[in-house]
Structure 1
Amino acid sequence: MTFETIDIGAAAPGLSPHQDRATVLNEVHARPFRPIETPARLIHFAFQSTSAERDAEVTVLSEFSAENGGSGVPCDARHHRLSLGDVQLRWERHSEFSSYCWYKKCPNDEELNMDAAQIAPEMYSLVQPGPHLVSIDLRIVDAASAPDLEAMFAKESLCVMTAEGGAATVATDFKADPQGFVKIVIVNSGVPPMRVGALAQRLLELETYRVLALLCLPEAHRLEPTVREIERSLVEATQQMTQTESLEDNEGLLDKLVILAARLEAGAARSLYRFGASRAYQNIVHGRIAAIGFEAVADRETFQAFLSRRMAPALQTCFSLEERQINLSRKLARATQLLRAKVDVAMERQNRDILQTMNERAQLQLRLQQTVEGLSIAAVSYYVVGLLGYFLKGLAHREPRLDAELAVALAAPVIVIFIALLVRHKTKHTAGGAVQSTRR
């Protein structure tokens, strides 16, 4: 059977509800505690899953439920319960993982001490929804049947505390046994079934989220060599910045910094979700410990002390790497800005030199143009005066009183001045047209 949902229409007749109202109201009822009678065993599994794997998981689970007399599982379901004789299966879907919890009452010692795989054999026949993360074997026993904790758990990591005002004793070593299960024992000394159910669920969540929180550690180990290499390359690049002078060398160094920044951002993008999720899971672990309300047992290590000593350094390694990524990104950005400023200054200097060279060439062209103009005036004037001289000499044969040489001498200055004014006028007209064409 599946969990009952809230009838929003009956709660507010005639009103138009928010599209997410039902989701928000049902969320606080999504994972209610179930009463658990003592003695009992809970075998809990958690699998990481993607969206594609989840669709296949729902299909497989729905078929499995139908084959065993249960109802189908809707595609958007987040939880489902199924009765398999004396074993109860509880399936839940979370943000990035799915959990399967098999609950069995154990009225005798034989069932209480049987292998975990025998309690949930169907788990091994179902299609695995994703990579396996968590296996927990939670035993709930009364005080008369309490096992020898020293023999059951590793002494070096055994944690023992009390809960429910001292009426329940909880023990574990957070260590996987040869079958891969982390064992947890609750010794019940009068805690009612509903409170036992709440305690058991919080312990299962505590161990599940502890494992999920530490998923960032392998990711940090994979990223750390790359971050260290980028840090070393940045130091080398900043040292080269003080030695490079040419624009080509600075541009090559700028390309190197851009590549380093791209590599860093790619790694940070890959680890962003994992580090953020681990921080959230760490907060959930602390919240579950606070909700259980553990009390210390004399001469026994507490859950808080164990997790603080073993889990906190691993998470701090991940979070420190995240800080290194952030700081390194800032340093790369500053180095890139400094180098860009250096490249810009070099380009401005280069542009200034080019403009200065162009100015010198323009002045040289102006002098050359003036020289050409002078030669042009002299040449044209010489030819005009020569032509005028030929004309006047020929005219002097008909008019003996005309002095051709004197007339040429008097006309020569006038011709030179006229030719000079004409050339200057043409030069200014041509230059003005070129300027207008450039503006257009």
Structure 2
Amino acid sequence: MLNIAAALEDTRRRELNDEVHARPPDSLPTPCAVTYIARLPRRDPESGVGKDLLGDLLDRFGLERPDRATDHFTTMLGDDRLRWERHTEYNRYTFVAPVDPQDTSSRFQEPDVPADWLEDMQGEVFVAIRAKIVGPEEIDTPIQEISRKCFNGNTLIGSRVADDGGLAVTDMRIHDDGFSRIVLINEKMSEAQTGRVLQRLFEIETYRMMALLALPVARELSPILDEDELELSAVGESLVNAEAHDEQSWLDRLTRLSASSQSRHQRSNYRFAAADAYYEIVLQRISELRETRIHGLQTFEEFTTRRLTPAVKTYRAVSRRQQSILEQIARATKLLSTRIDISRQQQNQSLLASMNRRVKMQLRLQATVEGLSVAAVTYYVVGLVGTLARGIESMGVPLNQSLVSAVSIPIVAGVAFMGIRQLRKKISREDLE
């Protein structure tokens, strides 16, 4: 029989395989009361560390804290069961409390936790829901009666769920105690099914809210993008008739606009991408409810998509506008840079042509100067030769002074020309070195 020893395995195999089994939904008895809190933890600006509310709660009950690397944890707090989970952007606490089957009151039971512990979440609670799970004896209770007893008479949203295994209703409102409310009537679901259905309802609300975090960002960006589009339009119109000496200033203006747009895009892109992911999770969780319509009620799918989809379209439109502006800035910058490069090339060509003309003039002038130099040297040297010939002739040596001077002219001129030429070559070599 083959046996894969641990030494043969990739070190990531077990971790990745166990990931699909991580965080299974709680099995929930009927009846019971469930309190769910999703918290967006804030970090202290000085220490960079957030509140350890889980550790504080466990300390109060004399329980051992989990390892700091733990991302989910379950324990008993007296008669209540606590389930804690850490997600990328939020933590969630689920308290499950037993309910006396004989208790027919309409109240939503609270978890047995210290009130001051809840107060430590000040400013961090993002979703808070109280749910009650009741048995099949409530299945025939009129919707109006459920609304009156549990939801202050508000309009309800709900459906039969889990292929007619039960009925779930809510009013999607935050009540005076700061909690939303859900009633789940279990007709024929197992404890595991009940846990999965309630977790999906909690996650629909949580991820709906997480997706909506992109909406304030989109609303804040919208007027800024209006200004960017006007600025970009003004730059585009000005470039049509821009003079060459103005092009660099327009390029600087585009560069500043690009920098500010890129900065905003980097800050908002994560929020928009996360919202897309959360929206997809909401749709997936709704489909997993396997809803059947209840006459007169909006289903969870109808209510959520009707209210959430416009918000999603809004931030997606803003995201597209932002990307479009960046692309337009890039095109305008490229066009203007090309114009500036062409203008500089033309200037360089004109400069090179001017330099070539000056070099040619210098060469002609140099040749003229060299010719004059040869003539001058020849004139003075021939004069010296003539003076020397007269001196020799005065000593009685028979010399024809004029002939000597005439013969010396080509010789002196040739020597002077070669000497000046060699001197010029030597100077040129030294310049190159």
Instruction: Name the TM-score, length of structure 1 as normaliser.
Output: 0.85
Call closer, same or farther: CA 1:348–1:308 in 2, change over 3 Å: same
Partner of 2:368: 371
1:391 & 1:33 partners in 2: Cα distance?
Answer: 125
1:407 & 1:54 partners in 2: Cα distance?
Answer: 105
Does 2:325 align with 1:328? yes
Deviation, structure 1 residue 45 = 0.5
Call closer, same or farther: CA 1:410–1:165 in 2, change over 3 Å: closer
In the alignment, structure 1 segments of 5+ residues that lack a partner are: 1-10
Call closer, same or farther: CA 1:320–1:95 in 2, change over 3 Å: same
2:24 & 2:417 partners in 1: Cα distance?
Answer: 108
Match of 1:32 among 13, 24, 29: 24
1:217 & 1:19 partners in 2: Cα distance?
Answer: 42
Partner of 1:166: 164
Partner of 2:132: 139
State percent identity of aligned pairs. 30
- Code of the residue aligned with 2:211 in structure 1: it is A
2:308 & 2:154 partners in 1: Cα distance?
Answer: 15
Deviation, structure 1 residue 51 = 8.1
2:281 & 2:256 partners in 1: Cα distance?
Answer: 38
Partner of 1:94: 87
Call closer, same or farther: CA 1:109–1:155 in 2, change over 3 Å: same
String of CA shifts for 1:136-165, please: whole Å, max 9, x gaps.
Answer: 121223455557244455888631211133
2:243 & 2:344 partners in 1: Cα distance?
Answer: 12
String of CA shifts for 1:152-201, please: whole Å, max 9, x gaps.
Answer: 55888631211133342211232212332222222333434332222111
Partner of 1:316: 313
String of CA shifts for 1:273-307, please: whole Å, max 9, x gaps.
Answer: 22221111111111111111011122221221211
Deviation, structure 1 residue 348 = 1.0
2:350 & 2:364 partners in 1: Cα distance?
Answer: 21
Partner of 2:239: 241
String of CA shifts for 1:350-383, please: whole Å, max 9, x gaps.
Answer: 1111111211211221222122222212221221
In the alignment, structure 2 segments of 5+ residues that lack a partner are: none
Please say which of residues 219-228 and 272-281 is displaced more in the overlay. Answer: 219-228
Partner of 1:351: 348
Check the 8 A contact 1:70/1:83 in 2, yes or no: no
Match of 2:274 among 246, 262, 277: 277
Task: Please give the secondary structure, in 1, of the residue aligned with 2:184.
Answer: strand
Count of matched residue positions in the alignment of Structure 1 and Structure 2: 423
2:56 & 2:425 partners in 1: Cα distance?
Answer: 96
Call closer, same or farther: CA 1:427–1:81 in 2, change over 3 Å: closer
Match of 1:230 among 217, 228, 236: 228
Check the 8 A contact 2:385/2:404 in 1, yes or no: no
Counting only pairs closer than 5 Å after superposition, residues 72-111 of structure 1 correspond to structure 2 as: 72-107=65-100
- Code of the residue aligned with 1:235 in structure 2: it is S
Partner of 1:122: 114
String of CA shifts for 1:235-282, please: whole Å, max 9, x gaps.
Answer: 222223222232x53222222222222222222221222222111111
Deviation, structure 1 residue 401 = 4.2
Deviation, structure 1 residue 134 = 0.6
Call closer, same or farther: CA 1:43–1:292 in 2, change over 3 Å: same
- Code of the residue aligned with 1:277 in structure 2: it is A
- Code of the residue aligned with 1:238 in structure 2: it is G
Call closer, same or farther: CA 1:156–1:138 in 2, change over 3 Å: closer
Check the 8 A contact 1:157/1:306 in 2, yes or no: no
String of CA shifts for 1:33-74, please: whole Å, max 9, x gaps.
Answer: 3332333321110112368899755x5423532442534312
String of CA shifts for 1:197-226, please: whole Å, max 9, x gaps.
Answer: 221111111111111111111122223333
Check the 8 A contact 1:39/1:112 in 2, yes or no: no
1:111 & 1:341 partners in 2: Cα distance?
Answer: 79
CA RMSD of aligned residues (A): 3.0
Instruction: Name the TM-score, length of structure 2 as normaliser.
Output: 0.87
Partner of 1:4: none
Task: Please give the secondary structure, in 1, of the residue aligned with 2:83.
Answer: strand
2:280 & 2:191 partners in 1: Cα distance?
Answer: 28
Partner of 2:250: 253
Call closer, same or farther: CA 1:192–1:179 in 2, change over 3 Å: same
Check the 8 A contact 1:106/1:112 in 2, yes or no: no
Partner of 2:33: 41
Counting only pairs closer than 5 Å after superposition, residues 3-82 of structure 1 correspond to structure 2 as: 13-49=5-41, 57=51, 59-82=52-75
- Code of the residue aligned with 1:83 in structure 2: it is M
